[in-house]
Structure 1
Amino acid sequence: MAQPKRSRRWVKWAERILIVLLLLVGLALIFNSQLESYWIRWQSQQKVTKISPQEVRKGEQQKGNYDYKNVQAVSENAILESEKARKTNAIGSIQIPSVKINLPIFKGLNSENLTIGAGTMKPNQKLGTGNYALAGHHMQDPNVLFSPLSKAKRGQVVKITDGKHTYRYRIIKTKVVPETDVSVLNDVPNQKLLTLVTCASGNPGETDRLIVTGRLIE
């Protein structure tokens, strides 16, 4: 009878060890996610507060990548990628005070740059003319990158600066579309628009896109 008791005792110990290991793994994942979010926010703020007109001129001279299919989700290498992005020349910044967005803008859709800011979606687009389109990531942390766009509402003001001039747009509508609907990027005759694009949620594999549209007011 002693052998079965020892076996049951070992099984109980094994179960306890497994529970502890699972708990530690869960805590590590939570901590890592929080650390990643903190780091991305810190890198974004470090970058956006130091953008100069000289940097913008250099950024505008760079070639941008506009192949949407090459854009990757923020990976486990986000800390390293964000450090590289901070050393890349930005072309401006975007602020939406009402939802606490304050991010650098980069030319094109480079996956590294999108770990700390927004990217232009069309070549040769210019602020204050046509339909100026920007894309950014929607993270599971609702306060990081373009995630706060889920709280954007009509009437809120978006400020975009290129280092010399500031352009103010007022949000006129928000909507969700399939990722295949690129018509939202088209210019509209006689209208000066801003289009902000992000995933409809921070869930992996999200196939819908949240579109926030603004109209130039100043």
Structure 2
Amino acid sequence: MEPSRQNFRNKGKKRFITWKRLLKTCFVVLIITVAGGVCFWLLDPNALGNYIAQSRVDQGNHMRVGQVKHGHKRKGYVYGTNSQASGDISQQQLAKDARAGYPLKKLGEIAIPVQSGMRVGVHVSIFQGTSVTALAYGAGTAIANEKMGQGNYALSAHNMANNSTYFSPLQNELSANQRPYIYVTDHKRIYEYRVFSQNNQPKGKFIVPLTDTAVLNQPTNHQPQITLTTCYEIPPDYANAQNRVIVKGGLVRSMSWHSAPSNQKKLFFNRQ
């Protein structure tokens, strides 16, 4: 009996040592992870905000076209160029906006691939209206009842001052002189626009005060246009934006989703 009792004690000690080592290893891994996160945050204080913003964009991109998330019954769709936007939006405000209670209706998607004149791509969903909720998940239609491929198709989205999320690349990464292409889709058709030349009117890219709503006017020549609007961010504060970056282009062609080239359809599945 004595040897068996000793063996039992030895096994108990081994189990205790194994669990102790395991807990110690987990604790070390946790410390390293937290320390790494702190260092990463110190190197890039906006990293968390950018991650949360991209997460919202991804959620919007996973919604089906035509899908509606109903908000508060007293809140409806609002339009405009988001004149009250205060510049680079914090992750706290972004989370608050996402829960603001406005309805969220997905109309389609916009993609600006990496190409000549566009060093960083754009891919976000298009929602009805420019409520804070719509802009938390992607781009919003600035004019009521606007239609892709007709009139002035005007879209607004945030500038996170990171050259990547929402419409952020429009400020520094888009060169109108190279006349890049812009694609929008409702998953029935794909509409191809091309940024206007800087030598003609309207110019392909320019800055206006936040109070200038003339950019939403219908084209006088009846040529279908697209107008993209985002905050003009001035470093190092990236706040209280008083101006807007405007990008304009003209419709080149439209095609059914099924007849569109595969490389264009892929723009709406793989973020560039």
- Same fold, TM-score > 0.5, yes or no: yes
| Alpha-carbon distance in 2 for matches of 1:174, 1:122 | 20
CA deviation string 1:91-132 (max 9, x = no partner): 111000123100011111111221231111011111111111
Matched, 1:197 2:229: yes
Instruction: Name 1:78's counterpart in structure 2.
Output: 94
Matched, 1:143 2:164: yes
- With the length of structure 1 as denominator, give the TM-score of the two structures: 0.75
Instruction: Name 1:104's counterpart in structure 2.
Output: 125
Alignment of 1:117-196 (within 5 A): 117-150=138-171, 151-154=173-176, 155-172=179-196, 173-189=204-220, 190-196=222-228
Over aligned residue pairs, what C-alpha RMSD do you find? Answer: 2.9
User: Following TM superposition, by how much is the alpha carbon of 1:177 offset from its aligned partner in structure 2, in angstroms?
Assistant: 1.2
- With the length of structure 2 as denominator, give the TM-score of the two structures: 0.61
Matched, 1:55 2:67: yes
User: Following TM superposition, by how much is the alpha carbon of 1:32 offset from its aligned partner in structure 2, in angstroms?
Assistant: 5.8
Decide whether aligned partners of structure 1 residues 69 and 184 sit closer, same or farther in structure 2, where only a CA change above 3 A counts: closer
Structure ID, larger Rg: 2
Structure 2 gaps, min length 5: 1-37, 115-119, 197-203, 254-272
CA deviation string 1:24-81 (max 9, x = no partner): x9986766621121121133124214434x427x9xxx95202545556534242464
Instruction: Name 2:51's counterpart in structure 1.
Output: 38
1:93 to 95, 109, 125: 109
Paired residues in the alignment total: 188
Decide whether aligned partners of structure 1 residues 27 and 168 sit closer, same or farther in structure 2, where only a CA change above 3 A counts: closer
The answer to whether the Cα contact below 8 Å between 1:63 and 1:107 also exists between their aligned partners in 2 is no
| Alpha-carbon distance in 2 for matches of 1:102, 1:93 | 7
Decide whether aligned partners of structure 1 residues 125 and 63 sit closer, same or farther in structure 2, where only a CA change above 3 A counts: farther
Choose between structure 1 and 2: higher helix proportion: 1
1:44 corresponds to which letter in structure 2? V
The answer to whether the Cα contact below 8 Å between 2:79 and 2:144 also exists between their aligned partners in 1 is yes
Taking every aligned residue pair, what percent have the same amino acid on both sides? 31
Structure 1 gaps, min length 5: 1-24
User: Following TM superposition, by how much is the alpha carbon of 1:174 offset from its aligned partner in structure 2, in angstroms?
Assistant: 0.5
Matched, 1:213 2:248: yes
